[in-house]
Amino acid sequence: MSFRLGLTGSIGMGKSTTAKMFADEGVPVWDADAAVHLLYSPGQPAARAIGRLFPTAIDPDGGVSRNLLRTMILADPDVLDRLNATVHPLVAENRAHFLAAHAEAPIVLLDIPLLYESGIEGDCDAVVVVSAPPEVQRERVLKRGMTEAEFQTILARQLPDAEKRARADYIILTTGLDTARAAVKNVLADIRRRITQDA
């Protein structure tokens, strides 16, 4: 069975960039956001389920409009809870298919923004948290075009960075690409040592 390494971090901490660095090292990566994007496509299970729950959040092509959903969540935070209850089981099924397809890989990476919030850390052999100073995080997020209100809404739903770091097995600081890349290599070297010792 593969060593399951969870990757998480608050919005704007550099998680996607770090996940790519793991992929560059030959580690299969399951991306929760990409899985959701797929499931939101026309005809997919999440799109059909959300269409039943929130018909106004569906585009004319039958796919889910993230912009409309975001507006609904900002207007009523309960929408997010109902959405998560519908989508999370479908995402878990997608993750299970990925793990089965890569069962022979020594290490797999599970890139999950809400890993701790969803209680998924129990399914991981170790967790790496990406982190950056708050001012760097805020600058990155606002540069993407997100408003301050949207940023604060998302932050309020996420475990604080300090708590994530306290619970992590590994921490990767993403203030510089070279530093982060070196940290990725160090994490993988340590995990390979652990695998060898447990063999």
- Computed over every residue of the chain, the mean pLDDT equals 93
Q: Please, how many CA atoms are within 13 Å of residue 20, restricted to the half-sphere of its CB?
A: 5
**CA proximity to 115, closest of 190, 24, 5:** 5
What would the two tokens of residue 107 be? Answer: 């290490």
Average pLDDT over residues 37-42: 95
pLDDT band at residue 180, thresholds of 50, 70 and 90?
very high
Q: Are 129 and 170 in contact (CB under 8 A)?
A: yes
Q: In angstroms, rounded to a whole number, what is the distance separating the alpha carbons of residues 153 and 128?
A: 24
Rounded Cα distance, 39 and 26, in Å: 26
How far apart, in whole angstroms, are the C-alpha atoms of residue 106 and residue 86? 32
pLDDT digits (tens, 9 = 90+) for 104-125: 999 999 999 989 988 999 999 9
Q: Would you state the structure tokens that stand for residue 119, as one six-digit string?
A: 């209680």
Which H/E stretch holds residue 127?
Answer: strand 126-131
pTM confidence score: 0.88
What does the alpha-carbon distance between residue 17 and residue 24 come to, in Å, rounded to a whole number? 11
